[in-house]
Copies of this chain bind each other. A is one copy, B any other.
Amino acid sequence: MAAASSPSSLHSSLRSCSKISITSHLSFSGSSPGFVKIPSRSGICSVGRICAAPLRSQANPVKVSASAAPVMDKPDSRVSTVVDVDLGNRSYPIYIGPGLLDEPDLLQRHVHGKRVLVVTNTTIAPLYLDKVTSALTHGNENISVESVILPDGEQYKNMETLMKVFDKAIETRLDRKCTFVALGGGVIGDMCGFAAAAFLRGVNFIQIPTTLMAMVDSSVGGKTGINHPLGKNMIGAFYQPQCVLVDTDTLNTLRERELASGIAEVVKYGLIRDAAFFEWLENNMHTLLARDPIALSYAIKRSCENKAEVVSLDEKESGLRATLNLGHTFGHAIETQAGYGQWLHGEAVAAGTVMAVDMSFRLGWIDETIKKRTLDILQLAKLPIAPPDVMTVDKFKKTMAVDKKVADGLLRLILLKGPLGNCVFTGDYDRNVLDETLRAFCKS
C-alpha cells in the first residue's frame, strides 16, 4: 500500500529544512491503517515535527499510495495535521483535521484581547456561527463576540461591503486589542483580512476557512483585498493571520460546484511544482469528490505545504510566488468579464489553466501528454475546460492589460515548461502564440 520515505530522502529533507523553514507535523488520534501510512512506518510522528518536501526534485517525505483504498469506515482514522507557515515574526500554524471546531483551546490560544469580531456571510452564519462563538467563549467568560454577516458572493467583495465591517467594528467600539475572525470562503477571508489589516492600522486576525478553495489557497500567504469594478483584488494588503483553523467537517455542507472549484487550485500545485502530487490526484480524484476526510486532509495539507514553501521564499511576490497564479490571468479576465459571482474563482482558474497549458504546448514548452492529462483531470473534477461564450479576444486582452502581473506595460504569464511539475513566470514569449490561444478559445 503506502510507501514511507526512505531514510536518505528524509535526511535530505531535514537538512534543507533549515533553509526553507516550513515545517509540518502530524498527530494521530488513533491507529491509521489506511492509505496515509508514513507516520507509523517512519516514526516521524514521534519526534514531533518533520519538514515538508522543500523542492519538487527531491523525494516527497510524505508519500501516499495512489492506489490505496479510502478508509472512510474506520472510526479511528482521524488525522490532525499542522502546517507551519514560517515568515519570521509573522509565522503562523494551519491546523487541519475533522472536528477542530470542537477543540476551543486551539482557537482561544490565538485570540488577543477580550473582544472578537466574527466576519461571515448569510450562507455560513446559520451553519457555523453558533459553533464558532461557542468555541471562542467555551470556558472563557471574559471573551465577548460580535459578528457581522455579509451577503454571500464574489460580487460583494467590494468597498461598500468592506465598509460594513468597519462600521460594525467602530460602532461596537472595538479597540486595537481585538481579534477579527474570518468564517467563510475566500471572499470572507480576503475581506476580513483586509479589514483586519486596515482597522486601526492593523488588528489580530484568525481564519476559519469553510470552502476547499479557501483552505488550499487563501489560508496561506496573507493576500487580502477587495475587487474594483475594473479588476479583481486591485485593493488590498499582505497581512498574515495568527492561525488558520481548517475543520474538514465544514466541507460536508459545501456545494459540489464549490468543492470542484477548490480542486482546481489543488490541481494547480501539482502542475506547477509537484508531479507526484498531480499523480496522486489523478488516482484519487473520485475519493476526493466523495469527500473522504483523509483524502481531503492530505490534499489540503499537501497544497498548503506547496504554497507555504513558495510564499516563505517570496512573501511579497517579487517572482517565484507569481507561479501560484497559473491560469489566473486568463481566469481573472473570465471572472471580470462574466460578472463577479457568475463563475466561481476555481471554475475560471480551471478554464484559465487549460488556456495556459494550451499556450505552453503551442510554444513547444511541454509535450502533448501534459496537455491531455490536464484536460482529463479537470474534466474528472467536473470543472470547465473552456471560457464562457461571452468571452472575446478583445475582452481577454482588455482585462489582462490591467492584471497585477503587468510590469512597465509587459504582460507576464505563468506557463508550463519542461516535464510535469515545472513552470516559468515570464514576459518573454511570442505574442502571436498568445493571440493563437485566445482565438482558439473565443468565437470572436
A223 and B115 CA atoms in complex are apart in Å by 24
A113, closest chain B residue (CB): B408
Copies per assembly: 2
Residues of B within 8 A of A115 (CB): 408
Contacts of A198 in B (CB 8 A): 194, 198, 225, 235-237
- Find A176's partner among B159, B201, B407 (CB 8 Å cutoff): B407
Given contacts A114-B408, A173-B402, A404-B176, contact A166 B234 (CB under 8 A): yes
**CB of A202 closer than 8 Å to a CB of B:** yes
CB-contacts of A178-220 with B (<8 A): 194, 197-202
Q: Which residues of B contact A199 (CB under 8 A)?
A: 234-235
Q: Is A76 interfacial (CB-CB < 8 Å)?
A: no
Residues of B within 8 A of A407 (CB): 113, 175-177
Q: Chain B: which residue is nearest A224 at the CB level?
A: B201
Known: A159-B159, A170-B231. A201 touches B175 (CB 8 A): no
Q: Could you tell me if B234 and A170 are in contact, using CB atoms closer than 8 angstroms?
A: yes
Chain B contacts for A228, CB-based, 8 A: 166-167, 170
Chain B residue contacts of A114, Cβ below 8 A: 408
Interface string of A406-417 (1 = CB under 8 A from B): 111100000000
Complex alpha-carbon distance, A342 and B40, angstroms: 71
Are B401 and A202 within 8 A (Cβ)? no
Say whether A230 contacts B171, CB under 8 Å: yes
Most buried by B among A114, A115, A175, A402: A175
Query: Who on chain B is nearest to A200 by CB?
Result: B404
| Residue pair B406, A173 in contact (C-beta under 8 Å) | yes
Q: Is the CB of A406 within 8 A of B230?
A: no
Tell me whether A443 is interfacial, beta carbon within 8 Å: no
The yes or no answer to A316 lying at the interface (CB within 8 A) is: yes
Instruction: Name the B residues within 8 Å of A408 (CB-CB).
Output: 113-115, 175, 177
List, in ascending order, chain B residues with CB within 8 A of A170's CB: 228, 230-231, 234, 402
Helix, strand, loop or mixed for chain A's interface? Answer: mixed
User: Which residues of A in the span 388-422 have a Cβ within 8 Å of any Cβ on B?
Assistant: 401-402, 404, 406-409
CB proximity of A397 to chain B, nearest CB, Å: 12
A238 at the interface (CB under 8 A from B): yes
- Taking a contact as CB atoms under 8 Å apart, the answer to whether A202 and B234 are in contact is no
In Å, the complex CA distance between A202 and B222 comes to: 13
Given contacts A406-B175, A407-B176, A408-B113, contact A201 B231 (CB under 8 A): no
Kindly report which residue of chain B lies nearest to residue A236, judged by CB atoms.
B201
Q: Residue-by-residue, is A226-264 near B (CB-CB < 8 Å gives 1, otherwise 0)?
A: 001011011111100000000000000000000000000
Closest to A316 in B: B202
CB of A69 within 8 A of chain B?
Answer: no
Closest CB of chain B to A141's CB: distance in Å? 15
Q: How far is the CA of A228 from the CA of B201 in the complex (A)?
A: 13
Cross-chain pairs A/B with CB under 8 angstroms, 27 sampled: A113-B407, A113-B408, A166-B234, A167-B228, A170-B230, A170-B231, A170-B234, A173-B402, A173-B406, A175-B404, A175-B406, A175-B407, A175-B408, A177-B407, A197-B237, A198-B198, A198-B225, A198-B235, A199-B234, A200-B234, A200-B236, A200-B404, A201-B223, A201-B224, A201-B237, A201-B238, A237-B237
Additional A-B contact list (5), CB under 8 Å, known A177-B407, A201-B223: A159-B159, A171-B230, A198-B225, A199-B235, A201-B233
